[in-house]
Chains A and B, each alone.
Chain A
Amino acid sequence: MSEVLRTDSFFNESLVGLFGPAQIVKSHEASAGKSFLPRVHVVPYGTTEIPKKAPVIESNTADRYTAHGDILLLDGKGNGRVILSQTANSNTVLVTEQCDNLCKFCSQPPKTRDDSILFAFAAQALIAFNSQDFVGITGGEPLLNRALFLQFLDTLKRADCHTPLHLLTNGRAFHDLSFVKEFKDALHNRDLICGIPLYGTNSAIHDDLVGEPGAWSETIDGLINAGNHGLPIEIRVIPTKRNVEQLSSIVKLALESISSISSISIMNLEQEGWAKRHWDELYIPPYQYVKMLEQTLKLQHRYKIPIRLFNYPLCHLPQHLRQYACKSISDWKAIYEEECLSCSLKSDCGGFFVSQKHKWTNPTMRII
């Protein structure tokens, strides 16, 4: 029996006992045989020629939402989740659930158990998927175990995998200059952008939000060092009640002092993980800080570095700011409220997170 849980997740009895990354094959593809990973066949319902070699997922939805070569992660209990998909507009792999920050709005609250196997899974998945497009590396804190991360880069290199990476890190590891150098060496010219969050112009605000005294000053050191070594940096800021007043100052501070910033992302708070718990304490609806957004977005004309808005449903932004909003939520993660169905902006809009369904307020401005 197979069941589609979400468009990216499956349960299938034949997957029970299988663990780690597996690659989807579609039998009509010529190169169906090649993969060093366990293979999982996905076929539309009612296919007569079902490949003999199990496992097979027979489902129209699964067939529609997967492509030959996509990577599944199997949990051993029969559940499989697509982690690298050729049809998604962005892909991300998780390399650890451990972290040295405890952000109040963490969407993936850290765990402490040893999960170094995830690095091995990630490396296998990336090598098999062999994408030319950027793939996100996320945690936890991917650079918490620095040796493991360097090894991970080395593994990719030795397997001739040149996939460009977008590394989501709190940047604290880069406060150690010798690590920055090792890191840079291990890249061997691989394209890599570091997405590093900065939540305040001082430690009082930043450390409070990330739940870790001393984090701000290490992140500042890390930003300066990484920038000076020419690592491209995407600065990420999440406006909350605590720091929204200094949003433009945070962006300005970064742009005036950190080298090699390639872009700035303003991220709307996601109602996931711990953010749910702290929602009232943190969330501020965009209409309450439109002036501040304007002031911040203006800085891109001064510094000639793009500043973009992520995770903002278009109807939560005034019209003149919509051009800066990116459709960032992966297709399968995005949902649209019923009102959205008749909205003229829907095709350009990121919509809401699946996980926000029914928990969140309705679109404040309704159909556009």
Chain B
Amino acid sequence: MQEYRLLPLNFRELDNKQVVISNLTNNYMLLESKEVLNQVVDGYAPAALRHHLEEGSFIASERDFESKVKLTTAAYAQLLRKDLLGQRLIMIVPTLRCDHSCTYCQVSRANQNETGFDLPSTTIPQIIEFIKRVEKPPYKIEFQGGEPLLAENFIKEFYTQFEKAVGSQNFSIIIASSLSLLNDDFLDFAKNRKIGFSTSIDAGHYAHNKHRKLITKNSFELMRDSVNKISQVLGGGRVGSVTTITKEGKDYHNDLVDVHLNLGLQDLFVRPVSPFGFAANRATSVLSNKEFVDFLRSLILRLVDEYHSGSVIIEHFFFIHYKRLINAAQGGYVDLMSPAGYAKQSLIIDYTGNIFGSDEARMIFRRHGGNQLILGNVKQPSATLDTHFSHDLLSSSFNFDIPGCNECVYQTACGSDPIYHLQEQGEPIGNKSESAFCDLHKRVFDLVIELMDNPINNSVFEKWLEYE
């Protein structure tokens, strides 16, 4: 191709002076320098790059220009559609009571023996009716807390009634639990039923027990024993983990991996201490985004090594960013979608029966109030969703026209989080130059680009896709 026309692109210079370019088809390319970018833009792209640029719909011959524009539009429509479709995760908070009092707890838990913090089991038929009304099978249900296992009778009862109502093949249940209270009776119940667990494992044994507080100071040991028991009784693949990274844990990526290897867990998910809800008040242990991403880099590099020595462990916070960047089919993640996942990808029914559009929304409500955040209550007869407010939020959550995002190189991979910006900046769109959401995700995408550039890493990420 001697002469070509340029199609629209966004770009970003990285710390090492390389330049990432991208376009609405969600194709990414790494250029050596700003000078190369200038050559591309001015019509003098280096010959060796031209066919890559053409295949990625960055440039086109005069004759193909119109078709490439159509292909770009079609590709972008596919991206939007991916984020528009999909199932909701329906979360239920059967109790706010908890045996732990974690320093970074996001929901203001209640003490173990308090009353008035439980969903009565009489609401179960109403909850089931509500779920059937607003969502299609196969249903994904997650029990959150508090500590859901303090309400194990509620869970059992729900399972039994739900199975009768929708059929056992049409749903699966995850219980998000510290697992300190898991007993044999419940394990027995979980046998032959579609129940999985998501548990917290913090980086570093010491940090775990320090932040995940029990009077007995043995949260870690209890979790470990329960995970082992689950594997013995129920078999593998029933437990996933969530790791909160605090200052005390930030050097313990190796420890974290070892724990997962020992417990035989394949999937982990790390996150910085949430800036939402109550955790935001207790800032002492909060890492900066930079520290968090440094942790993430060390962790991922260790996992790449693990893959080469035969153990597959996948860290999903990084992996979601990777999948979104390469256009993978399963790149849906409620906090990183455009339009946002709020109310569209998730709903949460809390212990009062109130319905919220996301976990964050319920936390913010607990902390600041804001009746608009309540989308309904399952106790109301034939409860549906009041979508008025969520509609407004969602329609301003397409990031192609959000200032800052519209020119950002990561726009097509990134998402938007109206609830976060509502809480931090008082309005749902937010100023991205001051947004910790933007800062965090941008850094993680930079990390993806950096690590992918090395074929050794990239081939492992490609292999991870086969485990989905």
Partner-B contacts on A (CB < 8 A):
201-204, 216-217, 220-221, 224, 227-228, 245-246, 249, 252-253, 256-259, 298, 301-305
Contact = CB atoms under 8 A, between A and B. Distances in A.
B69 to A, nearest CB: 11
Contact of B63 (A203, A221, A246): A203
Nearest to A213: B63
A12 to B, nearest CB: 52
A246 B462 contact: no
Nearest to B57: A253
B67 A257 contact: no
B436 interface: no
Contacts of A258: 74
A302 B323 CA distance: 8
B326 A302 contact: yes
A8 B70 CA distance: 45
A303 B328 contact: yes
Contacts of B64: 202-203, 216-217
Q: Which 3 A-B pairs have the closest CB atoms?
A: A249-B55, A257-B75, A304-B329
Contacts of B330: 304
Given A202-B64, A224-B74, A256 B25 contact: yes
Contacts of A304: 329-330, 468
B78 interface: yes
B71 interface: yes
A305 B327 CA distance: 13
A204 B61 CA distance: 9
A216 B78 contact: no
A201 B60 CA distance: 10
B81 interface: yes
Contact of A203 (B26, B61, B77): B61
Contact of A257 (B25, B326, B465): B25
A301 B468 CA distance: 8
A202 B26 contact: no
B308 interface: no
Contacts of A298: 462
A363 B60 CA distance: 41
A257 B78 contact: yes
The residue among A201, A221, A227 with the most chain B CB atoms within 10 A of its own CB is: A201
A304 B323 CA distance: 12
19 contacts: A201-B54, A201-B55, A202-B61, A202-B64, A216-B64, A216-B67, A220-B71, A221-B70, A224-B71, A245-B51, A249-B55, A256-B27, A256-B75, A257-B72, A257-B74, A298-B462, A301-B466, A303-B327, A303-B329
Contact of A253 (B55, B77, B468): B55
Contacts of A257: 25, 71-72, 74-75, 78
A224 B70 contact: yes
B61 A256 contact: no
A215 B411 CA distance: 33
Contacts of A228: 74
A68 B1 CA distance: 58
Contacts of B55: 201, 246, 249, 252-253
Nearest to A256: B75
B3 interface: no
A177 B39 CA distance: 39
Given A221-B70, A224-B71, 4 more contacts: A203-B61, A257-B25, A298-B462, A303-B328
Contacts of B60: 202
Contacts of B66: 217
Contacts of B26: 256
A221 B67 contact: yes
Nearest to A224: B74
Contacts of A252: 55
Nearest to A295: B462
The residue among A245, A253, A259 with the most chain B CB atoms within 10 A of its own CB is: A253
Nearest to B331: A302
Contacts of B78: 256-257, 259
Contacts of A203: 61, 63-64, 67
Contacts of B63: 203, 217
A217 B67 contact: yes
B249 to A, nearest CB: 32
Contacts of A216: 64, 67
B66 to A, nearest CB: 7
A302 B319 CA distance: 12
B462 A301 contact: yes
The residue among A216, A257, A258, A303 with the most chain B CB atoms within 10 A of its own CB is: A257
A256 B24 CA distance: 11
Contacts of A220: 67, 70-71
A218 to B, nearest CB: 9
Interface in B308-333: 326-330
Contacts of A301: 462, 465-466, 468
Nearest to A249: B55
A227 B465 CA distance: 25
Nearest to A254: B71
A202 B57 CA distance: 10
Nearest to A302: B328
A249 B51 CA distance: 10
A201 B25 CA distance: 14
B4 to A, nearest CB: 10
The residue among A216, A221, A224, A305 with the most chain B CB atoms within 10 A of its own CB is: A224
Contacts of A221: 67, 70
Contacts of A202: 54, 60-61, 64
Contacts of B51: 245-246
Nearest to A218: B67
Contacts of A259: 74, 77-78, 81
Interface string B1-39: 100000000000000000000000111000000000000
